[in-house]
Homo-oligomer: A and B are copies of this chain.
Amino acid sequence: MSAASPSAPGPLFETAVVAGVGLIGGSVALGLRQRLLARRVIGLDASPEVLREAEALGVVDEVHTRGGEWLRGADLVVLAAPMRALAPLARELAPFLNPSALVTDVGSVKGGIAAEMERLGVRHFVAGHPMAGSERGGVTHARAALLENAVWVLTPTDHTPLTALSKARTLVEQLGAAPVVMPPDAHDALVATISHLPYLASLALTHMVARDERLSLLAAGGFRDLTRVASGDPRMSRDMVVENKGALREALTRFRRQLERLEADLDEPEELLEAAREGKRTRDSLPIVRRSLLPQRHDLVVAVPDRPNQIGAVTQALGAAGVNIKDIEVLAIREDGGAIRLGLETPEDVASAAAILQTAGFEVRGRA
């Protein structure tokens, strides 16, 4: 019955410890249990309330509020505390870690923690970043499914034992996520570009309309889309960008260069038109299903007439026919109607949805 037994292989791990039982940590714990990847899952969190809730929800088998000798029994330790608490947590637990235990984390910036672990002499450490989340935090909203199909970046260093990396990769795959391996600095440059820089740009734009009643009154549509990320949790966002300020500064430099080029093109209308066309091509090729590894773009645009609750009418018609709407976006909506973009699963869904809606009297434009 042990993991070593070739005849009947047991779970991947005997005793897994999840340190920091929030949305991500709780989801990892649930994944480990529901997918039978660990015989025992222990929750470690400074907050007794969180641990009580985690036990009540069946997220963990056993709980601890601090590290100690008991940690030596763990062959998997997942550090899932908030960014700013990660390094202190690592320092607290390091003395008690079993040298053969696989240790990983789920922070959204990777350079710092990898270096910290090397300083602490934790050999079997593989830094990781599951690119999943939810606007609802906390263990209450933890779900094993949160990690399914999510991109989970693993960032080994020159000192990372291959055995540890392959075990971490197996763990990620067994949790239903898609492992992507790259060096820590490559990961940090990547998130700086697609996440931290956009946040800062969005914040800068938002500040430009702050305390100007007229501006913020007229700022709608595109401006709201552009500044949505500025609406996230201020502390978490702040911690993220500060932790990654090195890579972020480089991204800012490249961003400024792009802006300067576009500003120069204001005097070269043909150049600017080409830039606008390339921008549209690139934007339209981005995946529409959030946090999905596979680019997926099966759209149906529906014109909605001047009658109440047409969004309901559209989704009812499709729901009745069993067509699954994966994403929905209001392109323009007013009392007089407008247009809705539906993100569907397959080209077939687009075809049947189009037929259904046309029969229901809607004007549609497909894009499989």
Chain A contacts to B: CB under 8 angstroms:
131, 133-136, 141, 143, 145-146, 148-149, 151, 190, 193-195, 197-211, 214-232, 234-235, 237-238, 241-242, 245, 248-249, 251-252, 254-256, 258-259, 262-263, 266-267, 269, 272-273, 275-280, 282-293, 295, 301, 303, 306, 308-309, 311-313, 315-316, 318-319, 322-339
Tell me how far the C-beta of A284 lies from the nearest C-beta in chain B, rounded to whole angstroms.
6
Q: Given A209-B193, A252-B259, A334-B291: A203 and B134 within 8 A (CB)?
A: no
Question: Could you say which of B145, B207, B272 contacts A282, with CB atoms under 8 Å apart?
Answer: B207
Is the CB–CB distance between B205 and A201 below 8 Å? yes
Tell me how far the C-beta of A268 lies from the nearest C-beta in chain B, rounded to whole angstroms.
9
Q: Which one of A223, A279, A327 has the highest number of Cβ atoms from chain B below 10 Å of its Cβ?
A: A279
Residues of B within 8 A of A229 (CB): 222, 225-226
Residues of B within 8 A of A242 (CB): 266, 269, 272
Q: Given A216-B282, A223-B286, A235-B273: A194 and B206 within 8 A (CB)?
A: no
Question: Which residue of chain B has the shortest Cβ distance to A202 in the bound complex?
Answer: B226
* CA gap between A135 and B332 in the complex, in Å: 7
* CA gap between A324 and B304 in the complex, in Å: 13
Is the CB–CB distance between A190 and B206 below 8 Å? no
What are 10 sample pairs from A and B whose C-beta atoms fall under 8 A apart? A145-B334, A194-B223, A210-B279, A220-B287, A232-B280, A234-B279, A248-B266, A290-B332, A326-B333, A327-B333
* CA gap between A9 and B221 in the complex, in Å: 39
Residues of B within 8 A of A230 (CB): 276, 279-280, 282-283
Residues of B within 8 A of A203 (CB): 258, 262, 275-276, 279
Is the CB–CB distance between A306 and B145 below 8 Å? yes
* CA gap between A69 and B252 in the complex, in Å: 58
Question: Which residue of chain B has the shortest Cβ distance to A182 in the bound complex?
Answer: B214
Question: Could you say which of B143, B316, B334 contacts A315, with CB atoms under 8 Å apart?
Answer: B316
Q: Given A145-B306, A241-B266: A198 and B220 within 8 A (CB)?
A: no
Q: Given A222-B199, A283-B230: A255 and B332 within 8 A (CB)?
A: no
Is the CB–CB distance between B193 and A208 below 8 Å? yes
Residues of B within 8 A of A287 (CB): 217, 219-220
Q: Given A287-B217, A288-B224, A316-B312: A262 and B200 within 8 A (CB)?
A: yes
Tell me how far the C-beta of A252 lies from the nearest C-beta in chain B, rounded to whole angstroms.
6
Residues of B within 8 A of A211 (CB): 282
Is the CB–CB distance between A309 and B323 below 8 Å? yes
Is the CB–CB distance between A277 and B234 below 8 Å? yes
* CA gap between A315 and B319 in the complex, in Å: 10
Question: Which residue of chain B has the shortest Cβ distance to A207 in the bound complex?
Answer: B258
Question: Could you say which of B202, B221, B241, B336 contacts A145, with CB atoms under 8 Å apart?
Answer: B336
Tell me how far the C-beta of A341 lies from the nearest C-beta in chain B, rounded to whole angstroms.
9
Tell me how far the C-beta of A49 lies from the nearest C-beta in chain B, rounded to whole angstroms.
20
Residues of B within 8 A of A315 (CB): 309, 311-312, 315-316
* CA gap between A205 and B109 in the complex, in Å: 20
Q: Given A273-B235, A315-B316, A331-B135: A190 and B204 within 8 A (CB)?
A: no
Question: Which residue of chain B has the shortest Cβ distance to A220 in the bound complex?
Answer: B290
Question: Could you say which of B275, B303, B316 contacts A136, with CB atoms under 8 Å apart?
Answer: B303
* CA gap between A143 and B294 in the complex, in Å: 39
